[in-house]
């Protein structure tokens, strides 16, 4: 699986978000910035992303994933 394929899958689910995916093989770092995450707890944000990737995780295509999710304001506060 390529990071671009993972990004395409996430873009379908999070169409109004900025998405960055890096990594290769079955290990990925995912950054998603969008208002869809406003007023949500960290666990809920993670669950939303895992829901998109669950089949790939289940079949072993993705083994490890590092997920970071922010609203635009949270992302700016990070200094990014």
pLDDT tens for each residue of 17-70: 999 999 988 999 999 999 999 999 999 999 999 999 999 999 999 999 999 999
Tally of domains in the chain:
1
Q: Per residue in 37-50, pLDDT tens?
A: 999 999 999 999 99
Angstrom distance (rounded) from CA 53 to CA 3: 12
Tell me the pTM. Answer: 0.92
CATH number of the domain where residue 35 is located:
3.30.300.90
Phi-psi region of 68 (alpha: psi -120 to 50; beta: other; left: phi over 0): beta
| Residue 66, domain extent | 3-77
């Amino acid at each position: 699986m390529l990071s671009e394929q993972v990004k395409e899958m996430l873009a379908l689910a999070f169409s109004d978000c900025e998405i960055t995916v890096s990594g290769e093989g079955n290990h990925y770092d995912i950054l998603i910035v969008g208002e869809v995450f406003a007023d949500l707890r960290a666990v809920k944000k993670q669950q939303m992303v895992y829901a998109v990737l669950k089949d790939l995780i289940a079949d072993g295509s993705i083994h490890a994933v590092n997920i970071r999710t922010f609203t635009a304001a949270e992302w700016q506060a990070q200094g990014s």
